Amino acid sequence: MQPENSTTAADPSMSSKDYYFDSYAHFGIHEEMLKDEVRTLSYRDAIMQSKHLFRDKVVLDVGCGTGILSMFAAQAGAKLVIGVDMSNIIDKAKRIVVDNQLSDKVVLLKGKMEEVELPVDKVDIIISEWMGYFLLYESMLDTVLVARDKYLKPDGLIFPDQATMHIAAIEDGEYRREKIDFWDDVYGFNMQAIKEVALTEPLVDTVDAQAINTTDCVFKKIDILTVKKEDLTFTVPFEITCTRRDYVHALLVWFDIEFSACHKPIRFTTGPRGKYTHWKQTVFYVPDEMAVDQDDVISGTITSKPNEKNPRDLDISIAYEHDGQNGVTTAALEYHMC
Amino acid sequence: MQPENSTTAADPSMSSKDYYFDSYAHFGIHEEMLKDEVRTLSYRDAIMQSKHLFRDKVVLDVGCGTGILSMFAAQAGAKLVIGVDMSNIIDKAKRIVVDNQLSDKVVLLKGKMEEVELPVDKVDIIISEWMGYFLLYESMLDTVLVARDKYLKPDGLIFPDQATMHIAAIEDGEYRREKIDFWDDVYGFNMQAIKEVALTEPLVDTVDAQAINTTDCVFKKIDILTVKKEDLTFTVPFEITCTRRDYVHALLVWFDIEFSACHKPIRFTTGPRGKYTHWKQTVFYVPDEMAVDQDDVISGTITSKPNEKNPRDLDISIAYEHDGQNGVTTAALEYHMC
């Protein structure tokens, strides 16, 4: 009996803060990210197809991990690439840079973005793969904004620079039974106490595109060049329209990413209609399934804010109204993403 | 980009020691264990088919988690079941016991086995699901031994009471390429620095029984009633014989569990010839594949000991000699399970 990923967490010499840093120390996480080809090839294409932008430039890679993006930037012609990461994985990245004969162009610095001393005052381009589940989980975007405000030249570029968050509803009865209703009868025992917790935690998993039974709605756009940290705490409206007579078991959120600085913008989606990514989608089960008819409207607001005790966690609230054949039903749901 | 299971680890108010406790606080881990029917039904059968042993007895459940084993013991007729767990999951377990009208028989105590005060001096039976990957990872057996030595009556029983560890060799070229040789060329970059680490870390995964190309050898038997903590640090010999002309890419370890106190002993295996369990098997890749012929012998020793810095981790050494057509090859390999 083990947690799936207890790696490094249990070193008694480490504080919990170290643990955060070191949750990225294990190569398995980087293996998963590198093998996510939607992710890695989008970054590679965006960088390698922008040689005109990278040539002789100074580039900062925020959260460089294994150094893959830094090395792409060097290949694209950057004069100097500075990679920063606070995880011990950077020790491996340093050797990788040497082993690939890129140490004249790529400099890796271990530490927090707020604290490291860069060898330059300003950079031309920031590259970063900061996205978490539900886009914002883990708040690594905050670190990119710190780097941007401190180091990016006024006309500098950020790869990627656009993110949009989408919401839709899904029919998901079978999986709901397996994940939520399972707790009603566990070998004959009622484990409602756990079901209640399970209902407040968004589920990160892949959803079949066929499960979507509403239109989808962009509820948040983020321009990384201009967004402020406080904009990442928000309450925004959404409205989706049912596309068939069906049941709604959950709301579904995903995000799209764009590198708009490229000659021809490069985009990828983490939505159910795209190819698999390791971000999957985020499922918010509703306690009571909704019986919906085609053209029914579900409208409401979605609130996301960093948890006060632990800012890497997210408190997400979804309030909605469904105006259906059986009258109007409303719900106000609180989720915690930890 | 996230670690798959960063849950709860990042609460800045928690020390790393709390983190250990709380790696079991998240219901997802318990969901996985409960849904492992080989595990849970074996325990249920062992307990429910032993009503003659449990009737009117005092039972201690070491690491009770959601309380499922404690409730089985109560159903089997125990007079009093005391469950102990240091994870916050026990707060849910307490409500589950109430919700299932078992609070007159099941008492749950939060804390470390070494520190909690039991309401009785001695118990008749200890039940515990303490097994980790490679049987011994996470060292929860140590806690069972503490409970046994402090609380178990001289003629008391332990469920389960027997464990055996097995080793065999496997052909695993395809998966080895995906997990190990992947690092040779990552989007054109050499990540040997990570490959070296990947080779020192046993891989927990399911293996097809067809992949086994040697006999299997029991290299360690543990009698939970009598084993001492120091017996869990060991160097033992093994010898396996190749069953076909093939390549050996890895050594494979699994364990079997037995409840020998039952009227008819109940056993389950976590090996590749049995049904899936969440323990899967443990794969030790060898740096150089071995070309083997039928009846070739691979013999050597396997050493397992808790890591000095972090006793929940294991340092595992495997030394072997292969006497094959091309002469004798030897290897001495060090692995770290963290």
Residue whose C-alpha is closest to residue B125's, from B155, B154, B156 = B156
Question: Between these two residues, A6 and B46, which has the higher pLDDT value?
Answer: B46
CATH code of the domain in which B88 resides = 3.40.50.150
Q: Do B24 and B77 share a structural domain?
A: yes
Output the pTM of the full model. Answer: 0.91
> Dihedrals φ, ψ of A152, to 5°?
-80, 130
What is the average pLDDT across A283-295?
Answer: 95
Minimum distance, in Å, between the CA of residue A27 and any CA atom of chain B: 7
Partnered with residue B83 across adjacent β-strands are: B61, B108
Q: Which chain A residues have a beta carbon less than 8 Å from that of B31?
A: 179, 182
Q: What is the pLDDT of residue A7?
A: 32
Q: Do A187 and B27 touch (CB under 8 A)?
A: no
B241 and chain A: CB distance < 8 Å anywhere?
A: no
Minimum distance, in Å, between the CA of residue B295 and any CA atom of chain A: 36
Distance CA A265, CA A128 (A): 17
Q: Do B106 and B57 share a structural domain?
A: yes
The answer to whether residue A202 is domain-embedded is yes
Q: Give me chain B's average pLDDT, please.
A: 93
- Which tokens belong to A311? 């800012």
B92 and chain A: CB distance < 8 Å anywhere?
A: yes
Residue with tokens 């009996």: A1
Residue type, A150: K
Q: What is the pLDDT of residue B10?
A: 34
Give SS3 for B31.
Answer: helix
Residue whose C-alpha is closest to residue B245's, from B295, B196, B191, B305 = B295
Q: How far is CA B241 from CA A307, B198, B217, B229, B299, in A?
A: 57, 27, 9, 32, 8
Minimum distance, in Å, between the CA of residue A327 and any CA atom of chain B: 34
A322 and chain B: CB distance < 8 Å anywhere?
A: no
Q: Which chain B residues have a beta carbon less than 8 Å from that of A93?
A: 193
User: Which candidate in B6, B8, B13 is best for mutational testing of the A interface (most A CBs within 10 A)?
Assistant: B6
Q: For residues B45 and B76, is the Cβ–Cβ distance under 8 A?
A: no
A68 and chain B: CB distance < 8 Å anywhere?
A: yes
Question: How do residues B274-319 score in pLDDT, each as one tens digit?
Answer: 999 999 999 999 999 999 999 999 999 999 999 999 888 999 999 9
Minimum distance, in Å, between the CA of residue A241 and any CA atom of chain B: 31
Give SS3 for A2.
Answer: coil
Across the interface, which of A16, A66, A99 has its CB nearest the CB of B12? A16
Q: Count A/B contacts: CB-CB distance under 8 Å.
A: 189
Q: How many CA atoms lie within 13 A of A111 on its CB side?
A: 11
Q: What is the pLDDT of residue B57?
A: 98
> Which residue of B lies nearest to A23 if distances are taken between CA atoms?
B3
Listed residues B129, B150, B183: the one ending a domain = B129
Listed residues B87, B114, B129: the one ending a domain = B129
Q: Do B240 and B177 share a structural domain?
A: yes
The answer to whether residue B4 is domain-embedded is no
The answer to whether residue B251 is domain-embedded is yes
Sign of torsion over alpha carbons A212, A213, A219, A225: positive
Q: Which chain B residues have a beta carbon less than 8 Å from that of A133?
A: 2
Q: Do B120 and B203 share a structural domain?
A: no
Q: Which chain A residues have a beta carbon less than 8 Å from that of B16?
A: 9-12, 14-16, 18-19
The answer to whether residue B2 is domain-embedded is no
Q: Do B100 and A189 touch (CB under 8 A)?
A: yes
Q: Which of residues 179-208 of A touch B (CB under 8 A)?
A: 179, 182, 186-187, 189-194, 197-198
The answer to whether residue A135 is domain-embedded is no
How many residues would you count in chain A?
338
Q: Do A310 and A197 share a structural domain?
A: yes
A326 and chain B: CB distance < 8 Å anywhere?
A: no
Question: Between these two residues, B19 and B98, which has the higher pLDDT value?
Answer: B98
Q: Do A99 and B137 touch (CB under 8 A)?
A: no
Distance CA A275, CA A278 (A): 10
Q: Do A40 and B100 touch (CB under 8 A)?
A: no
Q: For residues A169 and A242, is the Cβ–Cβ distance under 8 A?
A: yes
A35 and chain B: CB distance < 8 Å anywhere?
A: yes
Q: For residues B335 and B317, is the Cβ–Cβ distance under 8 A?
A: yes
CB-based burial label for B227 (10 Å; 0-12, 13-18, 19+): middle
Q: Which chain A residues have a beta carbon less than 8 Å from that of B34?
A: 186-187
Q: Which chain A residues have a beta carbon less than 8 Å from that of B100?
A: 189-190
Question: How do residues A223-249 score in pLDDT, each as one tens digit?
Answer: 999 999 999 999 999 999 999 999 999
**A332 pLDDT higher than 90:** yes
Q: Which chain B residues have a beta carbon less than 8 Å from that of A132?
A: 1-2
Question: How do residues B95-140 score in pLDDT, each as one tens digit?
Answer: 999 999 999 999 999 999 999 999 999 999 999 999 999 999 988 9
**B16 pLDDT higher than 60:** no
The answer to whether residue B152 is domain-embedded is no
Q: What is the pLDDT of residue A24?
A: 83
Identify the top-confidence range among A1-15, A264-278, B315-329.
A264-278
C-alpha B293 chain-centroid distance: 32
Q: Do A192 and B99 touch (CB under 8 A)?
A: yes
Q: Do A208 and A105 share a structural domain?
A: no
Q: Do B296 and B224 share a structural domain?
A: yes
Number of domains in chain B: 2
- What radius of gyration do chain A's Cα atoms show? 22
Question: Would you name the residues of A annotated as active-site residues?
Answer: 129, 138
Minimum distance, in Å, between the CA of residue B327 and any CA atom of chain A: 34
Distance CA A108, CA A128 (A): 14
Listed residues B106, B129, B152: the one ending a domain = B129
The answer to whether residue B189 is domain-embedded is yes
> Dihedrals φ, ψ of A312, to 5°?
-75, -20
Question: Between these two residues, B35 and B19, which has the higher pLDDT value?
Answer: B35
Structural domain containing residue B200: 163-337
B44 and chain A: CB distance < 8 Å anywhere?
A: yes
> Which residue of A lies nearest to B15 if distances are taken between CA atoms?
A16
Q: Do B274 and B216 share a structural domain?
A: yes
Q: Do B1 and A33 touch (CB under 8 A)?
A: yes
Q: Do A276 and A201 share a structural domain?
A: yes
The answer to whether residue A228 is domain-embedded is yes
Distance CA B39, CA B97 (A): 21
CATH code of the domain in which B200 resides = 2.70.160.11
User: Which candidate in A5, A7, A16 is best for mutational testing of the B interface (most B CBs within 10 A)?
Assistant: A16
Q: Do B301 and B177 share a structural domain?
A: yes
Q: Do B1 and A187 touch (CB under 8 A)?
A: no
Q: Give me chain A's average pLDDT, please.
A: 93
Q: Do B252 and B106 share a structural domain?
A: no
What is the average pLDDT across A154-159?
Answer: 98
**B167 pLDDT higher than 50:** yes
8-state DSSP, A274:
S
Q: Which chain A residues have a beta carbon less than 8 Å from that of B70?
A: none
Q: What is the ipTM of this complex?
A: 0.91
**DSSP letter string, B268-313:** EE-STTS---TT-EEEEEEEEEEEE-TT-EEEEEEEEEE-SS-TTS
Q: Do B287 and B203 share a structural domain?
A: yes
